[in-house]
Chains A and B, each alone.
Chain A
Amino acid sequence: MKVKICLGGAVVALLISVGVLAPVITPYDPNQQDLLAALQAPDYFAGKFFLGTDHVGRDILSRIIYGARISLVIASTVVLVSGIVGVGFGAISGYFGGRTDFAIQKAVEVVWAFPPLLLAIAILAFMGQGLGILIIALVAQRWIPYCRVARGQTLSLRARDFVTAARSLGASHGRIIGRHILPNLLQAAIVIGTFAMASAIISEASLSFLGLGVPPEIPTWGSMLADGREHISTSWWLALFPGLCIFMTVLGINLLGDGLRDILDPRLKRASSGVT
């Protein structure tokens, strides 16, 4: 159990530090092209391009390092936004009940009736490209698991002694939710969040594959993988390295999530799932 957290934590820590230090540690500008040096095979420690170059002669290592940054930003923003939206609505829904609950749960039902990737595809196809829109598309459904779990927990918390006590002391609804309920919802949300992070990274790659990713000047692992697939049989390094990065990162985050779940909330079964 400890091993999982350590391994996962190490991967995530590495990812974060690489992302933060990107401008310092990259050998080249990720968008700097050199057509004459296009599609050079990795030369590891021997020459200029450690992991080789892509179809327009950009350094793959530099792009991967910047890609870590973008992937991290995308994944954590998605998780944060969907967590806030989901837990918020879940708490409101469970706390107030009645019509509010009904309306929110209907919305949940509608959004949840879409197979996961479908809604994201529709949003991106219809709203165009951009980092912001990509994040909206990825959040569109990811807030639901938080919402469901938070609602369930709030329902039981509402009846607990400390809440009724606070209410009898005249605390406002906002105060009760903020001070007494939300802190109790955090554990579950963190566990859901780690898994959602992994699935967000894979979803970004899948959407890039369908041509619905981010604009071309932003290096993401997903778009590198999607572009590189065209060259798989002849210049394998284009797709292999970003593919490995996605794999390692998702693996690391999943390990971390698994470990966290074992510690924080062993009862919580896999509430959110990977999206292919």
Chain B
Amino acid sequence: MGATASAETRLTLGITSNLSTVNPYGDSASHLYGLWGEVYGNLCRYSFEKGGYVGHLAEKWEVKDENTWIFHLKKGMKFHNGTELTAKDVVHSFFRMSKDPESSQKQNSSRKIKSVEAVDDYTVRMISHKPTSSLLSYICGLWAISSKDVYDKYGAKEADKNHPYGAGPYRLKEFVIGNRLVLEKAEGSPFLRPGSPDIVIVRKMTESEQRVTALLNGEIQIAQFIPPHLLTRIEKSKSARLVPTSSVEIMFLAMNPAMKPWDNQKVRQAVCHAINREGIVKALLKGQAQLLQGPIGPGQYAYNPDHKPVYDYNPEKAKKLLAEAGYPDGVEVDLYTPVARYVNDKQITQAMVPMLGAVGIKTKLHTPEWVTQWANVRKGKVPFFYQGRGSVIDPGPALSQYFETGVSPRINFSSAEYDKLMQAERAAFDEQKRIATLRQAMSVLTEEAPACFMWTHTLQYGVANKVDYQPRPDGRPYMSEATMKN
């Protein structure tokens, strides 16, 4: 390493998820949305500090009528190869998201948006299929804007692999599939902060003991997702600290009413009363979770702080409900959980088994491989399962997906009242009205209990003391927001 290297600051991030493809539209995992956002740039992003969407490549936007949105781009945004980013590149990016056969992001764009046109170099018009008040949640922090010229010249494969020029703060230096990604600061980018690292290395490290060890001996500077039982190792360290963030992933126990005994609302409610959530959070999560009293918690859109807890830990009441439902002698059920997909998922569900057994719900725990489990959940074949739904900032899409009649067969729940509220919610452009409708829908859901809403995890990141970094609830690793201290 020469003289220049000594001054170069380097930040290595140890992540748990996979680095699957150089195609910025080829995966829809939240860490990749974040990394591509840093390379290519987004139109807008969600700011957790401001509690709303802020411009990135776009300056501002307006709603012309309920189906027409206008985005105004910032001027002078340059791709890493020096050409200017204009409206045609946004149109092109929409084209790739919706038409690229390898795109995994169609659902976030074309399903809601009918067309994207360039009005002039700096103005983009988007037309939605149906009035969608939450349209920004399908765009901000998701769309990576890539260059049309580069694509036209080289084609998709070659452009993504060897000419990955974006307009974000970092250029892509190296991408080793499934292993490592290296970013290099794009000098002069307006998105950089003083102290943003010169080189960012993202490494996949799935074993948690290893991530912690690597953090403590200086191999990496940020370690994602420290499990509760390892927190003390970092607390005791002099070179690193813990930085928590809440998560916008809601954890729940889903009960499929298409199958017995889950067709009975009282049995479902009995489950919600039977589980000692405080006990689990204390013992297995070391307090690293916030209990949910409805589908969502504080910090998520339309959360109702006045909402009273409905399901306390009450085994007696659970037994009574079970008896009222026609199972005075108890009932046998099968519970399914993924393993190592969510924080301590197997341990948590293991702990639920005797709790359910105590009220008469004799439970057998199954731990299928995630592929099998997920395929079956999608087909609506799993009776009773522990599940998380991530990226729930605005709960509209997730609640529709899991609980609205006919949207997906996952839980097979159906309630006319709930469906009506969800339709009304989507058509409401007045914010106060929308929030009120959503809250009402969520109360119905809590009462009907097709799922017991458990908690959101507090995610702990291990961060080296020489780095300033605040992780985001949505799991986007925007590394330009990290700064190196000297």
Contacts and interface: CB of A to CB of B under 8 A. Distances in A.
Q: Judge A-B direct contact (beta carbons within 8 Å).
A: yes
Interface of A: 32-33, 35-36, 38-39, 55-57, 125, 128-129, 211-212, 215-217, 227, 229-235
A35 B372 contact: no
A241 to B, nearest CB: 17
B227 A216 contact: no
Contacts of A227: 346
28 contacts: A33-B350, A33-B351, A33-B353, A33-B354, A35-B276, A35-B282, A35-B283, A35-B284, A35-B351, A36-B283, A39-B229, A55-B229, A56-B283, A57-B283, A125-B369, A128-B369, A128-B372, A129-B369, A211-B339, A215-B365, A216-B365, A217-B365, A227-B346, A229-B209, A230-B209, A231-B229, A233-B212, A233-B233
Contacts of A235: 229
Contact of A217 (B279, B339, B364): B364
Contacts of B340: 211
Contacts of B350: 33, 56, 216
A56 B351 contact: yes
Given A35-B279, A38-B284, A125-B369, A56 B229 contact: no
Contacts of A128: 368-369, 372
Nearest to B283: A35
A230 B208 contact: yes
A216 B212 CA distance: 26
Contact of B369 (A57, A211, A229, A232): A211
A35 B229 CA distance: 14
A212 B371 CA distance: 13
A129 B364 CA distance: 14
Nearest to A234: B229
Contacts of B339: 211
B351 A230 contact: no
A32 B354 CA distance: 8
A17 B275 CA distance: 39
A193 B353 CA distance: 39
Given A56-B350, A211-B340, A233-B233, 11 more contacts: A33-B350, A36-B283, A55-B284, A56-B351, A129-B368, A129-B369, A211-B339, A215-B367, A230-B209, A232-B209, A233-B212
Nearest to B349: A216
Interface of B: 208-209, 212, 227, 229-230, 232-233, 276, 279-280, 282-284, 339-340, 344, 346-347, 350-351, 353-354, 364-369, 372
A232 B230 CA distance: 10
B204 to A, nearest CB: 17
Contact of B367 (A55, A57, A129, A233): A129
B472 to A, nearest CB: 26
A234 B283 contact: no
Given A55-B347, A56-B284, A229-B209, A215 B366 contact: yes
Contacts of B346: 216, 227
B208 to A, nearest CB: 7
B332 to A, nearest CB: 14
Most buried by A among B276, B354, B368: B354
A231 B276 CA distance: 24
A234 B279 contact: no
Contacts of B284: 35, 38, 55-56
B209 A233 contact: yes
A229 B209 CA distance: 8
Contacts of A215: 365-367
A232 B339 CA distance: 19
A87 to B, nearest CB: 34
B367 A230 contact: no
Contacts of A217: 364-365
A158 to B, nearest CB: 47
A55 B346 CA distance: 11
Given A33-B351, A56-B351, A128-B369, A230 B283 contact: no
A235 B347 CA distance: 15
A4 to B, nearest CB: 37
B283 A233 contact: no
Nearest to B372: A128
Nearest to B350: A56
A236 to B, nearest CB: 12
Contacts of B276: 35
Nearest to A32: B354
Given A55-B284, A211-B340, A234 B369 contact: no
B117 to A, nearest CB: 47
Contacts of B372: 128
A240 to B, nearest CB: 14
Contact of A38 (B212, B227, B232, B283): B283
Given A230-B208, A234-B230, A35 B367 contact: no
Contacts of B230: 233-234
A32 B351 CA distance: 10
Contacts of B208: 230
Contacts of A230: 208-209, 227, 229
A128 to B, nearest CB: 7
A227 B347 CA distance: 9
A55 to B, nearest CB: 5
Contacts of A216: 346, 350, 365, 367
A262 B391 CA distance: 64
Contacts of B366: 215
Closest 10 CB pairs of A and B: A35-B283, A38-B283, A56-B351, A33-B354, A55-B347, A35-B279, A216-B367, A56-B350, A234-B229, A231-B229
Contacts of A55: 229, 284, 344, 347
B381 to A, nearest CB: 14
A56 B347 contact: yes
B315 to A, nearest CB: 14
A211 B346 CA distance: 11
Contacts of B369: 125, 128-129, 211-212
